[in-house]
Amino acid sequence: MAEPMGFFTDTTLCIGCKACEVACKEWNQLPAINGGQNTLSGNSYDNTRRLDGINWRHVKFIEQFDANDPNRTGGRWLLMSDVCKHCVQAGCLEVCPTGAIIRTQFDTVVIQSDVCNGCRYCISACPFDVIGINEANNTAMKCTLCYDRMLGGLTPACAQACPTASIQFGPLHQLRARAEQRVQQLRQRGESRAYLYGVPGDGYTDRIGGLNAFFLLVDRPQVYGLPERPELPSRNSLPGWLLGWGSGILAALGGLLAFRQRRMAAVEEAVAVPARGREAAPPQEE
């Protein structure tokens, strides 16, 4: 297996230019919209709105301005180029019933479009709400971390296009070391809120083993629309099956007992009625 590869997205360097979105769409030949007309979201400069089957990169615009502060001195923009996290333990891969979702030799998670049959279970399983149906081919799609480019020794299109190195691509261990240095650098410069989301031991993503596409953030995960504690779908498997079987077996046994009790009573009644009838009848003359 090749060395695990991934993305390190430093949100403090993002300027919201969306070059990553454009590069991603161009390389992967993704449509601008899933039919219909393009519309404005009314939410800051974010008209992409979300990650889905045709948007594999999404630059989030988070405006933090206090309405009671007319000078806007304490305000700030948080910009983040969001992407599939290529989880170390991926919920989508776990539940996919067709084997369409695979882990590649680069430790990334890829949906094979020629295998996917569009059951949409991966959409429900993803803790980051990344996957959607691409109506061009009616299969579930998401970022492949440019698997085809990686096979050719190329950098993913988004990282290649990013003008500020907010999106960095490389071997995971190198990216993590670089990210730790960047956090220290920011803290020394006074940005004490800087931390990494998606590295081992971060206190957030431990339940899924961390992320191969991780982020440097300066506010709580929820502010960026990231879950505080992403979890694997299988956490509910054992209790769900146990409660289901417990309820089902009890129902069947209870139903069986109730049926037999009632039927015995009916049979006894049927036997008793003719007997009572015989007792009540006048003696037959011989």
The residue whose two tokens read 């089957």 is: 53
Closest to other proteins by CB, 47 vs 124, is 124
Q: Which amino acid is at 168?
A: Q
CA distance readout (Å), 34 to 28, 29, 84: 15, 13, 19
Contact pattern for other proteins over residues 104 through 123, marking x by CB under 8 A: ----------xxxxxxxx-x
Q: Is 33 in the site for other proteins (CB under 8 A)?
A: no
Q: Is 132 in the site for other proteins (CB under 8 A)?
A: yes
Segment 206 to 245, residues that bind other proteins, using CB under 8 A: 225, 227-231, 233-234, 236-237, 239-241, 243-245
Rounded to whole angstroms, the Cα distance separating 283 from 280 reads 9
Rounded to whole angstroms, the Cα distance separating 187 from 196 reads 12
Using CB atoms within 10 Å of the CB of residue 68, give its burial: 0 to 12 exposed, 13 to 18 middle, 19+ buried. exposed
Q: Is 56 in the site for other proteins (CB under 8 A)?
A: no
The residue whose two tokens read 């290529």 is: 86
Segment 88 to 107, residues that bind other proteins, using CB under 8 A: 91, 94-100
Residue in 124, 164, 184, 192 binding other proteins, rule: CB under 8 A? 124
Rounded to whole angstroms, the Cα distance separating 64 from 191 reads 16
> Residue 195: how many CA atoms within 13 Å on its side-chain side?
14
Segment 138 to 177, residues that bind other proteins, using CB under 8 A: 138-140
Residue in 151, 267, 271, 273 binding other proteins, rule: CB under 8 A? 267
- Which residue in 114, 143, 117 sits closest to 20, CA to CA? 143
Q: Is 184 in the site for other proteins (CB under 8 A)?
A: no
Q: Is 35 in the site for other proteins (CB under 8 A)?
A: no
Closest to other proteins by CB, 43 vs 185, is 43
Q: Which residues bind other proteins (CB under 8 A)?
A: 49-52, 91, 94-100, 114-121, 123-133, 138-140, 225, 227-231, 233-234, 236-237, 239-241, 243-252, 254-260, 262-263, 266-267, 270
